[in-house]
Structure 1
Amino acid sequence: MTGNTHVVVIGGGYAGVMAANRLTRRDDVSVTLINPRPDLVHRVRLHQLVGGSDDAVVAYRDVLADRVRLVVDTVTRIDVAARSVTSAAGATLDYDYLIYAVGSGSAEPSVPGAAESAHPLATLEEAQRLRAVLDATPKTAAVTVVGAGPTGIETAAELAEQDRRVTLVCGGVLGPYLHTRGRRSVAKRLAKLGVTVIDGPDAKVTAVARDAVRLADGRELPSEVTVWTVGFGVPDLAARSGLSTDAVGRLLTDETLTSVDDERVLAAGDSAAPSGVPLRMSCLNATPLGARAADTVLSRLAGEQPENLHQSMYAQCISLGRSAGIYQFANRSDVAVWLHIGDGLGARIKELVCKGIPKHLADEARKPGSFGLHRMPGGVAKRRELLRAHRVEAPAAADRAA
């Protein structure tokens, strides 16, 4: 593989693969993608892996451009001064540009007993371990799913559809992102599947034991298998490498996704914090962010000013078993609106979304530059408004702290 400019992409998820493929638009650019696994983890299907209806992986040969060199390894350090990365295998790789797309995983649980007795579900390996545990557990055993975001809802529905005894503990409201109408639709479907939903202010988990879950109001729920879907965290690679990050650990960038520390380092996907105001962690945002980061590199190589980030379409899509789902529409501020599509049509839309993600990546591999979701008109004014509000709130928060 030859080229005058070498770009290293760390992370082979939706954002990283999109960025790597798009960079092959130029013949004088060589691309290396470094990822810990030999396949793409199709994260939006991890709950299906747990339920046994999908393996949640896609072969890189089906979605990665031929010109992208794949290195199966883990980056342990970024040396910005030397423009190089070091891997767990001891290899050192130089770069001209670096795209940081390490994604996200399970947040470290702060609830006593959760780390020892609950099963997280944010990575392929976690999903595979949970699947093995469930396979060895009788269907009559009590299963408690903690966390009422999309992962928790989808996992609860998937397991209940298999006639398992499932309790979904929300820690607050069911589906916090959803509009009230959408939330009612989801609650109705979960009830039909036999899921016991515990929500409200007293539905916070205060302790997890091997065979029980304790709630804030003192209740103790029997639970032979506890699934933990509360929150996401990001790898600490950027922070360990001396790069500026937000409080969660996402790489701080400007609005072109360029690191505030070095113009040769960019970020995309869940591990990016543009202007300290990151987009919601989701596949809907990850793929366009990957394309945007690649476009910034390509613009710089062409001597052009990169475009700023904007996003014009938001939504949330949740499966509710194999035969129902919900597609929740949202406005350009990423706030859910009254309109949603549910039931069987919602399930079909969710399946189209799941199939569409690898198709977008494969199309970009075959024809780099073809993806255009991040270039859809609109969203610029809303992003500026959000940034203005953030600039006003930040000094106010600092004054309160003082």
Structure 2
Amino acid sequence: MSATQRNGSHVRQIIVLGGGYAGTMAANRLSAADDADVVMVNPRPRFVHRVRLHQWIAGTGTADEDFAHVLSGRVRLVVDTATHIDVAGGRVELASDAALDYDHLVYAVGSSGTPADTIDGVAEHGFVLGEWEAAQRLRARLDAVEATDPGAPATVIGGGLTGIEMAAELADAGVPVRIVCGVVLAPSFGDRARRSARRRLRKLGVEILEDCHVVSVGPDTVTIVDNGVRRIVPSSTTIVAAGFGVPDLAAVSGLSTDTAGRLITDETLTSVDDPRIVGAGDAVAPSGMAFRMSCQAANQLGPHAADTVLARLTGDAPSPVRLAFVGQGASLGRRGAVVQLTHRDDRPARVVISGRAAATIKELVCRSVIWGLRLEGRRPGATPSFGPTRQVGDRQVEVNA
């Protein structure tokens, strides 16, 4: 048994795998349990505020925090990487060859940017957005280009919100940028929000290429196909923002996963294979249906995963997950943004906010993420839950106001 003794009582061992938004929030909430030791395993010694990575890359902001500022002092941080979960034995094996026993485990390993495998040369010459280490390489590349060939153009592959923010941030910093969108710019936005994003990007000087795609990447060029016509254009730095993938830890550990590798759970976020394992964040698919990968979802899934564990510690029945989306936002340089309000099921609503007002809202949202983590660390349970819900198939979905 992995439980230890404290003042004559059993102390449960809880491991949280991953120190992103969901994992940090879950660990902070779990720190309220007096009869548990909480350990968070994370490959980095600092918290990465990923929604600000585009700012750090462009040299316009910071994107990391000391864990002491966002993580409860009752949580022990282990800087290491989980390589295998021994489900039967209740043990996590680490890259350092150490191992940690657990009574309960929160699987919150997150996601990372994925290379566009269909594009020739992208692995050798492209820079994939998504993780801190990749962001460091990209920033070093941009600095080197600025020093040797100032004014050389950059290309962003992917017209989603991540690509839009990266292109706008670089353009606002004076880098000539084109964004190759595939089918359409900002596919998750409604038409009004999409038009606003286009206007702002064009004002910043971003070349927007819709309904075309990149087929190959060279050291300083990209090959684009537009209406069946290939053309080679200069690109000193080619940035891939074509989607996110998840680690294969669950799959290699023999746990049930969806086709993307996400841990399959029930609606309480409990693994369908073992009640001791609970999932949260981007790498989880409740009932096999994942929520949109986002900080917004992670900051709700993390507390709910913790509540499921806490319920099991007290012998109570955990509740189904309740998630409510309120909007999608993209910063467009330091003085502009677009905020697309959504229904709680994440469908675009009619209300769109743009310009400086939207930039102020987006900045407040980014700051509030850190404030929320700190608050949960000081006062576990402070993050609210949402309701009421209604049953739609196998999923509890928020009732729209």
1:347 and 2:362 are equivalent in the alignment? no
Describe the SS at the equivalent of 1:58.
Answer: strand
Does the alignment pair 1:377 with 2:384? no
1:20-31, aligned counterparts within 5 Å?
Answer: 20-31=27-38
Q: Are 1:125 and 2:139 matched, yes or no?
A: no
Q: Pick closer, same or farther for the CA change 1:388–1:95 going to 2, 3 Å.
A: closer
Residue from 7, 11, 16 that aligns with 2:14: 7
Alignment match, 1:250 = 262
- Distance change in 2, residues 1:108/1:195 (3 Å): closer
**Residues paired across the two proteins, number:** 383
Identify the range of structure 1 (136-145 vs 246-255) with the bigger mean alpha-carbon deviation.
136-145
Q: Which amino acid aligns with 1:12?
A: G
Deviations 1:12-35 (A, max 9, x none): 000000000101122111100000
Letter in 1 for 2:348: A
Contact 1:139 / 1:165 at 8 angstroms: preserved in 2? no
For the 8 Å contact 1:189–1:320, the answer to whether it is kept is yes
1:4 counterpart SS class: strand
User: Equivalent residue of 1:337, what SS?
Assistant: strand
Determine which of 50, 55, 59 is the counterpart of 1:52. Answer: 59
> Over aligned residues, Cα RMSD in angstroms?
1.6
Letter in 2 for 1:9: V
Alignment-mate amino acid for residue 382 of structure 2:
S
Distance 1:244 1:171 in 2: 32
Per-residue CA distance 1:348-398 (angstroms, 9 max, x = gap) = 1111111111111100110101111xx1224x22xx326479xxxxxxxxx
Structure 2 counterpart of 1:79: 86
Who is 1:236 aligned against?
A: 248
- Aligned amino acid, residue 353 of structure 2: I
Question: Is 1:177 aligned to 2:184, yes or no?
Answer: no
TM-score when normalising by structure 2 = 0.93
**Alignment counterpart, residue 164 of structure 1, candidates 175, 178, 190:** 175
Matched, 1:92 2:99: yes
Q: CA deviation at 1:269?
A: 0.3
Unaligned 5+ residue runs, structure 2?
397-401
Compute the displacement of 1:117 (Å): 0.9
- Which residue does 1:363 correspond to in 2? 375
1:281 paired to 2:319 = no
Kept after mapping to 2: 8 A contact 1:108/1:233:
no
2:115–2:242 contact (8 Å) kept in structure 1: no
Given that residues 330 and 337 in structure 2 are in contact (C-alpha distance below 8 angstroms), is that contact kept between their aligned partners in structure 1? yes
Partner SS state of residue 233, structure 2: strand
CA distance in 1, matches of 2:151, 2:279: 45
The structure with the largest helix share of the pair is 1
Q: Deviations over 1:133-180 (max 9, x none)?
A: 101113310101110111110010001012211001001110010000
Structure 1, unmatched stretches of 5+, are 390-402
The match for 2:216 among 207, 215, 223 is 207
Q: Please name the residue that 1:32 is paired with.
A: 39
The answer on whether the counterparts of 2:55 and 2:61 sit within 8 Å (CA) in structure 1 is: yes
Q: Which runs of 4+ in 1 moved over 6 A?
A: none
Q: Which whole-Å CA distance do the structure 2 matches of 1:20 and 1:298 have between them?
A: 11
Structure 1 residue corresponding to 2:160, chosen from 145, 149, 152? 149
Q: Give the structure with the larger strand fraction.
A: 2
For 2:113, the equivalent position in structure 1 comes to 106
How many angstroms does 1:283 deviate by? 0.1
- Aligned counterparts, 1:308-323, within 5 A: 308-323=320-335
What is the CA-CA distance between 1:55 and the residue it aligns to? 2.7
| 2:267–2:395 contact (8 Å) kept in structure 1 | no
